[in-house]
A and B are shown apart, each in its own frame.
Chain A
């Protein structure tokens, strides 16, 4: 049983560019959340998708957007990249938003 898978594992982008990160939830899970983890900090909640809708959002600007597909997979899009967007981006999935969340290994984004 595959766990939460994220792609790509590493990515380097230039300031001002746009990036799309992808997440496939654990088999049987229908809820996906995204987190940003800066170096030396705990993960910070970006937003959560359930039934293809954004259900809850953290304190992140509109440059951060997402989508959930009918197969429950999800994308995180970040526009107009800033150097400060360099971080580990984590995806977590659960069966319903009220169940235990399991994390993927993350995508390491570096903005230069």
Chain B
């Protein structure tokens, strides 16, 4: 699986958009970009994933650059409850083959949302 690089920490004001960057310059054509977050002492929570098109769901938006070497997770209106560690992961996601879809976590970005 491709390696990802994320900033160690970021701050955001409550109500503002939080934009979390991720670099995955060695990503392969069959690897998806996944985002999870982990609130202190809880299990990781799935947020969103995408291959090459921008994606949006009720939690966030995922913007992937055209060359797929980087992406940005956007939380449109951050709240205090969004304070967490955010993990960007690239994962082979095709049925069959020799990869069984393990998730390789890095250190993630600690996002702190301030009042």
A92 touches B103 (CB 8 A): yes
Which residue of B is nearest A4, CB measured? B43
Name the interface residues of A40-96: CB closer than 8 Å to any CB of B. 41-45, 48, 50, 55-56, 58, 88, 90, 92, 94, 96
A111 within 8 Å of B by Cβ?
no
Give the B interface residue count (CB, 8 A).
Answer: 22
B15 within 8 Å of A by Cβ?
no
B99 neighbours in A (Cβ, 8 Å): 56
Cross-chain pair count, CB within 8 angstroms: 61
Whole-angstrom CA separation of A105 from B42 in the bound complex:
5
Whole-angstrom CA separation of A92 from B102 in the bound complex:
10
Whole-angstrom CA separation of A102 from B45 in the bound complex:
7
- Band of interface residues on A: 20 to 34
Interface string of B81-106 (1 = CB under 8 A from A): 00000010000011100011111111
Complex A-B, nearest 6 residue pairs according to Cβ-Cβ distance, in ascending order: A42-B105, A103-B43, A56-B100, A97-B100, A97-B101, A45-B102
28 contacts between A and B (CB under 8 A): A4-B43, A33-B102, A42-B87, A42-B106, A42-B107, A43-B105, A44-B105, A45-B102, A45-B103, A48-B100, A56-B100, A58-B102, A88-B41, A90-B43, A90-B44, A97-B101, A98-B95, A98-B101, A99-B101, A100-B46, A101-B103, A103-B45, A103-B46, A104-B43, A105-B42, A105-B43, A106-B41, A108-B41
